[in-house]
Amino acid sequence: MKWAQTLDGRAAAADGSSQWITGVDARGDVHRRRAEADAILVGTGTLLADDPALTARAETGGLLVPAAEQPVPIVLGRREIPAKAKLREHPALAARGLAAPLQFSGDDIPGMLAELHDMGITRLFVEGGPSVASAFLATGLVDDLLVYIAPALLGGQHLALGDIGVDSMAGIRRVRVQHMAMLGADLLLRGSLVSYATPSPTNPAVQA
């Protein structure tokens, strides 16, 4: 799972704009990690707000890896993928014989992951917004956290994470930091969650 945030934990400005919180070096690192994944997932909120291409691209703008090696695009949520969405032109679709991006409601994240595994997708790069990130963290099924932190402040209500099922300090989710690196002016923190509460079989946070 990846997200970008400011020092004060914001993922977007008051008007909802979020491009770009981090700099060129951090974004290049994200594209390299996309290229290593079997699939890349966003929620319908991010899809409708940003119309992302979700390809792994080089600094020149071309594909970082061939179409057949690009991550398969996946959308989480019930809202329809627009007919003119960039995802519908994703190079991995034609290369893998897919008519459209994969889409799941978000009702059953563990079940979705099991279905993806049966399809041969074993390395999923979750790059959704706060609702998707929170829903995945609440299930306890995140192996690796990549948090890109920009030396900037936004304030406001658009936090990088929402409710992850922690009601008190007794349930705090500790992160074991495995690596830190400066990418230009930005900080990359990579880690894993130390412990989880019992995963919930369903999570309604991404049903909209």
208 pLDDT band, cuts 50/70/90, is very low
Q: pLDDT for 147-166, tens place per residue?
A: 999 999 988 899 999 888 88
Res 19 pLDDT > 60: yes
Q: Residue 18: its pLDDT value, please?
A: 76
Q: Residue 195: its pLDDT value, please?
A: 65
pTM of the predicted protein model: 0.86
2-206 in CATH: which number?
3.40.430.10
Place of tokens 């940003």: 50
Q: Which residues, 6 or more positions from 78, have their beta carbon under 8 angstroms from its beta carbon?
A: 44, 105, 106, 207, 208
Q: Which residues, 6 or more positions from 75, have their beta carbon under 8 angstroms from its beta carbon?
A: 41, 42, 43, 44, 47, 81, 87, 101, 102, 103, 104
Q: pLDDT for 41-84, tens place per residue?
A: 999 988 998 899 999 999 888 998 999 999 999 999 999 999 99
